[in-house]
């Protein structure tokens, strides 16, 4: 989808995004929005990784979108 539309069009990932690694994968594929029921668990994992100084939890996840 990302390759087929303007950069102004936001792509939403929904269905199957159940953890932080899944969220990072769809972001890397071009999604700028995500619909997930596991939001609280993803945020908890992000905070855990950020506190531990681990890889992808570097503040970039919340930098896209609107």
> 1-47, pLDDT tens digit by residue?
778 888 889 989 888 899 999 999 999 988 889 888 899 999 999 99
Instruction: Judge whether 38 lies within some domain.
Output: yes
Instruction: Judge whether 59 lies within some domain.
Output: no
Instruction: Judge whether 63 lies within some domain.
Output: no
3-state secondary structure at position 33: strand
Instruction: Judge whether 43 lies within some domain.
Output: yes
Give the range of the structural domain holding residue 32, as residue numbers without chain letter.
Answer: 2-53
Length of the chain: 66
Instruction: Judge whether 21 lies within some domain.
Output: yes
Give the residues across from 33 on adjacent strands: 12
The pTM of the full predicted model, rounded to 2 decimals, is 0.72
Instruction: Judge whether 66 lies within some domain.
Output: no
CA distances from 30 to 14, 43, 44 (A): 13, 20, 23
Tell me how far apart the alpha carbons of residues 64 and 27 are, in angstroms, rounded to a whole number: 9
Closest CA to 32 of 45, 13, 53: 13
Number of domains in the chain: 1
Instruction: Judge whether 23 lies within some domain.
Output: yes
């Amino acid at each position: 989808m990302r390759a087929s539309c303007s950069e102004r069009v936001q792509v939403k990932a929904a269905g199957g995004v159940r953890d932080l690694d899944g969220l990072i994968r769809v972001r890397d594929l071009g999604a700028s929005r995500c619909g997930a029921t596991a939001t609280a668990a993803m945020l908890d994992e992000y905070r855990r990784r950020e506190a531990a100084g681990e890889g992808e939890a570097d503040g970039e996840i919340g930098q896209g979108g609107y």
